[in-house]
């Protein structure tokens, strides 16, 4: 069975190579009884892969059950998974069969497996190694023939280092790993998914279908989607229900996206420390430097203009002696002016030297600013040429986001 047929059968949308790779691994491992660990961020669609594995295996006629380990209270998780005997704890009025007994000869999907308590992890490890388990309150060993497929959005290596997950259980579950990529790495799939969701909602709510402008599509593709497909579907439903105009522009899309995720500031490719506002420290530093550069340039222009035109009155000198003195001290100027008078030849010459110094500093700064912009433009052109116009790869090499690169290309009028 080819990948496209699998996608149609299980309702998977997208053509991302990373997604196709994950589906291919699931298809290859399905006929075996090997344990599988599915990893990926929350909302990427990990729940589809256990169904693929079960339906393409020899157990397809056996039972399949999905268990959300994070939704079951710690005090009852052992009873839910392994069952209990009558009277084994308060409220156990009768014996109960657990999931591992009910799903014998089938497949059990343990979602959010990292949420399992450590004692439950020990019990699960025994099932994986020998197929044996004990009901709560019983000493009778039971056998089960169950295939386990687990999933998590947690970095289990970090959980192991913090003592929250057993290393031996990790290696038993992770016999075959499947990684489901986040939506931000599937730019080409974002529009397909959005159109599919809005089409379904239009049919569900009996409304005309939505149409996206090219600019709106660009916004959707450049957004990072921290909630992945689940967030995209939620926003698609909001727009489908609320907007009366069925032609969706970029401004409409922006209204439904959290503002903290739509910043135009540079974004690092690698993980970096974030502030409470969601911006990285580097983003904030860029903003401060840009603002300071502009303020200093404006200040120097104002000071030069004042000195050239002689707009500083004698009364201002008398009322603000410390301020005036500090300005002159910074450039090794003449001493504080006590009163308004005509300067002698030496003072006039020194006065012009100060003006020339400020003009030179200002000119150098502007030239330096232009030089930086020129170098930045050259670096962008070289990166684009190196990667034959592939903006994603060029942005990765420059250490900026693809969205920032797109803005820079327009700002510097760089041809595609």
CATH number at residue 207: 1.10.8.60
Show which of 157, 181, 205 is a domain's final residue: 181
69 and 206 share one domain: no
Q: Are 248 and 211 in contact (CB under 8 A)?
A: yes
Let me know if residue 47 belongs to a domain. Answer: yes
Return the CATH number at 102: 3.40.50.300
pLDDT at 269 over 50: no
212 and 91 share one domain: no
Show which of 155, 181, 207 is a domain's final residue: 181
163 and 14 share one domain: yes
CA distance 114 to 144: 22
86 and 165 share one domain: yes
Q: Report helix, strand or coil for 17.
A: helix
Let me know if residue 128 belongs to a domain. Answer: yes
CA 225 to chain CA centroid, nearest Å: 6
Let me know if residue 267 belongs to a domain. Answer: no
Instruction: Please tell me the total count of domains within the chain.
Output: 2
Least confident of 122-126, 156-160, 207-211, 349-353: 349-353
96 and 34 share one domain: yes
119 and 189 share one domain: no
Q: Which domain holds residue 103?
A: 3-181
Q: Report helix, strand or coil for 211.
A: strand
205 and 161 share one domain: no
Let me know if residue 280 belongs to a domain. Answer: no
155 and 206 share one domain: no
Which residue did the predictor score with more confidence, 416 or 296? 296
28 and 131 share one domain: yes
Q: Is 393 exposed, middle or buried (0-12, 13-18, 19+ CB in 10 A)?
A: middle
74 and 175 share one domain: yes
Least confident of 97-106, 302-311, 317-326: 317-326
155 and 47 share one domain: yes
pLDDT, one tens digit per residue, over 102-158 is: 999 999 999 999 999 999 999 999 999 999 999 999 999 999 999 999 999 999 999
What is the band of 182 on the pLDDT scale with cuts at 50, 70, 90? very high
Total-model pTM: 0.62
Q: Among residues of the chain, what percentage have pLDDT more than 70?
A: 74
CA distance 96 to 85: 6
Show which of 181, 196, 216 is a domain's final residue: 181
pLDDT at 1 over 80: no
Residue 38's H or E segment, with its range, is strand 36-39
Q: Are 380 and 414 in contact (CB under 8 A)?
A: yes
pLDDT, one tens digit per residue, over 164-177 is: 999 999 999 999 99
Let me know if residue 348 belongs to a domain. Answer: no
What is the band of 375 on the pLDDT scale with cuts at 50, 70, 90? confident
Query: In this structure, how many other beta carbons lie within 10 angstroms of the beta carbon of residue 152?
Result: 24
CA distance 297 to 369: 10
């Amino acid at each position: 069975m080819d990948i496209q047929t699998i996608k149609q059968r299980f309702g998977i949308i997208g053509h991302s190579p990373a997604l196709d790779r994950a589906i291919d691994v699931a298809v290859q491992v399905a006929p075996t009884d090997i344990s599988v660990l599915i990893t990926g961020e929350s909302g990427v669609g990990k729940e589809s892969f256990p169904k693929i594995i079960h339906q393409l295996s020899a157990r397809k006629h056996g039972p399949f059950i999905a268990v959300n380990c994070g939704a079951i209270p710690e005090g009852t998780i052992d009873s839910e998974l392994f069952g209990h005997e009558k009277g084994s704890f308060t409220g156990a009025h009768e014996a109960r069969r657990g999931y591992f007994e009910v799903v014998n000869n089938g497949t059990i999907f343990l979602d959010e497996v990292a949420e399992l308590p450590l004692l439950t992890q020990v019990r699960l490890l025994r099932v994986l190694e020998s197929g044996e388990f004990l009901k709560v309150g019983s000493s009778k060993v039971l056998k089960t023939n169950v295939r386990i497929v687990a999933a998590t959005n947690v970095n289990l290596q970090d959980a192991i280092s913090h003592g929250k997950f057993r290393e031996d259980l990790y290696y038993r579950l992770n016999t075959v790993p499947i990684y489901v990529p986040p939506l931000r790495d599937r730019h080409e799939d974002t529009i397909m998914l959005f159109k599919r969701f809005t089409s379904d909602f239009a049919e569900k709510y009996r409304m005309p279908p939505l149409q996206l402008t090219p600019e709106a599509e660009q916004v959707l593709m450049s957004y990072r989607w921290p909630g992945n497909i689940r967030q995209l579907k939620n926003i698609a439903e909001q727009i489908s229900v609320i907007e009366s105009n069925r032609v969706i522009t970029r401004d409409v899309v922006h209204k439904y996206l959290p503002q903290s995720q739509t910043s135009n500031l540079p974004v690092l490719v690698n993980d970096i420390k974030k502030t409470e506002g969601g911006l990285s420290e580097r983003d904030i530093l860029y903003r401060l430097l840009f603002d300071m550069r502009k303020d200093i340039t404006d200040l120097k222009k104002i000071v030069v203009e004042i000195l050239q035109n002689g707009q500083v009155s004698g009364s201002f000198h008398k009322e603000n002696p410390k301020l005036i003195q500090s300005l002159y001290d910074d450039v090794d100027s003449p001493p504080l002016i006590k009163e308004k008078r005509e300067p002698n030849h030496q003072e006039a010459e020194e006065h012009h030297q100060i003006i020339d110094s400020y003009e030179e500093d200002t000119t150098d700064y502007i030239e330096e600013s232009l030089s930086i912009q020129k170098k930045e433009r050259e670096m962008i052109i070289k990166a684009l040429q190196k990667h034959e116009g592939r903006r994603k790869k060029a942005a990765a090499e420059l250490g900026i986001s693809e969205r920032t690169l797109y803005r820079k290309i327009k700002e510097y009028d760089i041809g595609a």
